[in-house]
Amino acid sequence: MNPLPPNQQQALVERLMSACGGAYSPETRRKYFITGPQWAGSYEGNALFYAKTREAVGFEDVIRHYAEVGVGYWCTHDSDVIPTELLGKDGQWEIVEKIKKTLAANGLECSMVTTETFWHAVWAGSPAAEAPETREYAKFRVRNMVKVGHELGARYAVYWPGNLGYYVQGAIDEMQTLKWYADALNAACEIDIEIAAKRKRPTLKHCMEAKPFEPQAEILLPTSDAMLAFIGSGVLTHPEMVGLNPEYLHELMWGGAPRAALARALMAGKLWHFDINDGYRLKHDVDIAVGLVNPLDWLNVLVLLRSHGYNGPFNLDFKPPRTTSNFGVWKISFPTAVDRFITLWEMAGEVMSDPIIKEATDAMKAGGGAKDPTDVDQVVAANRELLSLHELVAHRIFQILVGQNRGRVLAG
C-alpha cells in the first residue's frame, strides 16, 4: 500500500467506519440513558508523562458533536466550563446561560454536574485539608455546583474526592479528614434541600465515586464498598440523599469483580449512577472505551443491571485514545463506544430470555428433590449432574456474545 497523504486520511476513516457496518441511528442511540461528559469529549490526550496531542474543544462543540452522534445527555465538572476564578461570580451565570441555550439548540439535557476537587492548586491538601479556609472553599464549590445543577436541570451530582489520602504516613488524621470531607457533602445536601424546595424540583441524587490508586499513594475511600460504609457511618446529615457512582474500571483496578461491587451497591439501594469504560486489573486508570477489553464481563454486567431494574445513567467516562485528531474522536471513539454499549445491552436481553439458560437455571433452582436435607449423602446424590450446568450457561453466554445463538456458524 502507498503512503496515504493527510488530506485523504479522514475519507479513509469514514469509509472504513461505514464498511464496519452495524451502526445504530442517532435516534436509536438517544433512546438509552447514555450521558456524555464534557471532559471526555474535550480530552486533549495529556497525562502525567504525556503532552497534549489534540486541540482544545469548548462546550459548544462537545454538545454539538454529542447531538450528532445521538448522545442525549451531557454532564460536566464546574471548572471544565467555567474558569475557576469566575465560579460563583456573575460571569459564571453568563456562561450557564450560554450552556442552557446550547443544550436546547441541540436537543440535549444536562444529566449531572460534578465539582472538580482534585486538579487546582487549592486542592493540594485535598478538599478536606487541615486549613479551615480550604474546607470552607470546598463547601463553597460544592454548594455552587448544586445551584448550577438546578439551573441546568440536572438530576445527579457526582463527587470524586481526588486527593483524599496521603503520600507519607502519619501526616493526616484519617478520622478527622473523613469527618471534614463529610462536612462538604453535608453542605451540598443542605443547600440542595433549600434550593429544591424553592424551585419545586426534587433534590439531586448525590453520588460518590471511588478510585483505588490515584492521585494519592494511599486513598481513604478507595472502593465503592468503602463509600457505602462511609455513607452508613453516621457522619452524613442526609445519608438518604447520598449514593454511589461506581466506575467499572475503578472496581476492576483494585482486583475486585465489578459485577459483585455493583451487586452490593444495588443491595444497599445506592446504585444511582454508573461510569462505563474498560481496562485491566491492577493497572493505572487507563479509561478505555466500554467493551474493548472485557466484552464478556460487560455483557454479564448488563445482565445484572437489567435483571435488577437499574434505571440510572450510563456515563461514557472513558478517554478517547491519545491520537492526534479531533476528527477521529467524534467519528470513531464516541459512536463505536455507544454502539458497543447498545449491542451488549440488547444481548443482555437475549441472555435473559434464552430458553437454554432459563431451563438450566430453573433446573438448578429446583434441585434434585432430596427427601431429607439433613442427610449429606442424599443431598449430594440428588444434585449430582446439575452443577455441571454452570459451565453450560457460561458457554451459552459466550455463544450469545459471538452470535452463535442467532445462527452464526463457525464449527465445520
SS3 47: strand
Distance between start and end Cα atoms, the chain: 34
Q: Which of 149, 246 has the CB closer to Mn ion? A: 246
Q: Provide, rounded to whole angstroms, the least separation between the CB of residue 4 and Mn ion.
A: 34
Among 158, 261, 360, 401, binds ligand GCO (CB under 6 A): 158
- Of 192, 247, 339, 354, the one binding ligand GCO (CB under 6 A) is 247
103-109-111-113 Cα dihedral, nearest 10 degrees: 20
Q: Which residues bind Mn ion (CB under 5 A)?
A: 247, 275, 285, 287, 317
Interface with ligand GCO (CB under 6 A), residue from 151, 209, 225, 339 = 209
**By the rule CB under 6 A, 275 interacts with ligand GCO:** yes
Q: Which residues pair with 271 in a beta bridge?
A: 244
Q: Considering beta carbons, is residue 270 or 396 the nearer one to ligand GCO?
A: 270
* CA 364, chain centre distance (Å): 34
User: 192 or 287: whose CB is closer to Mn ion?
Assistant: 287
Cβ nearer to Mn ion, comparing 102 with 115: 115
Q: Considering the rule CB under 6 A, would residue 278 count as an interface residue with ligand GCO?
A: no
Q: Measured between alpha carbons, how far is residue 208 from residues 63, 145, 153, 278 in Å?
A: 25, 15, 20, 19
State the binding partner of 114 from Mn ion, ligand GCO, none, CB within 5 to 8 A by kind.
Answer: ligand GCO
Q: Does 160 bind ligand GCO (CB under 6 A)?
A: yes
Closer by beta carbon to Mn ion, 287 or else 354: 287
Within positions 339 to 368, which residues make up the interface with ligand GCO, using CB under 6 A?
none
**C-beta closer to ligand GCO: residue 277 or 405:** 277
Work out whether 285 is an interface residue with ligand GCO (CB under 6 A).
Answer: yes
Is residue 327 within 8 Å of residue 280, measured between CB atoms? no
Q: What is the dihedral of CA 257, 259, 265, 268, to 10 degrees?
A: -110
218 binds, among Mn ion, ligand GCO, none (CB under 5 to 8 A by kind): none
- Which of ligand GCO, Mn ion, none lies near 278, with the C-beta cut-off 5 to 8 A by kind? none
Q: DSSP labels for 119-184?
A: SSGGGTT-TT-SSHHHHHHHHHHHHHHHHHHHHHT--EEEE---S-EESSTTSS-HHHHHHHHHHH
- Residues facing residue 37 across a β-bridge: 75
| Total site size for ligand GCO, rule CB under 6 A | 11
Q: Which of 156, 330 has the CB closer to ligand GCO?
A: 156
Q: Does 251 bind ligand GCO (CB under 6 A)?
A: no
Task: Specify the amino acid at residue 257.
Answer: A
Given the complex with ligand GCO, which of 59 and 160 has the nearer CB atom?
160
Name which position in 151, 192, 225, 287 contacts ligand GCO (CB under 6 A): 287
Residue 24's contacts (CB-CB under 8 Å, 6 or more residues apart) are: 70, 338, 339, 342
Query: What is the Cα–Cα distance from 261 to 253, expressed in whole angstroms?
Result: 12
Binding to ligand GCO (CB under 6 A) within 297-316 occurs at none
Would you tell me how many other CB atoms lie within 10 Å of the CB of residue 166? 18
Measured distance CA(115)–CA(159) in Å, rounded: 7
Q: Rule CB under 6 A: which residues touch ligand GCO?
A: 77, 114, 158, 160, 209, 211, 247, 275, 285, 287, 317
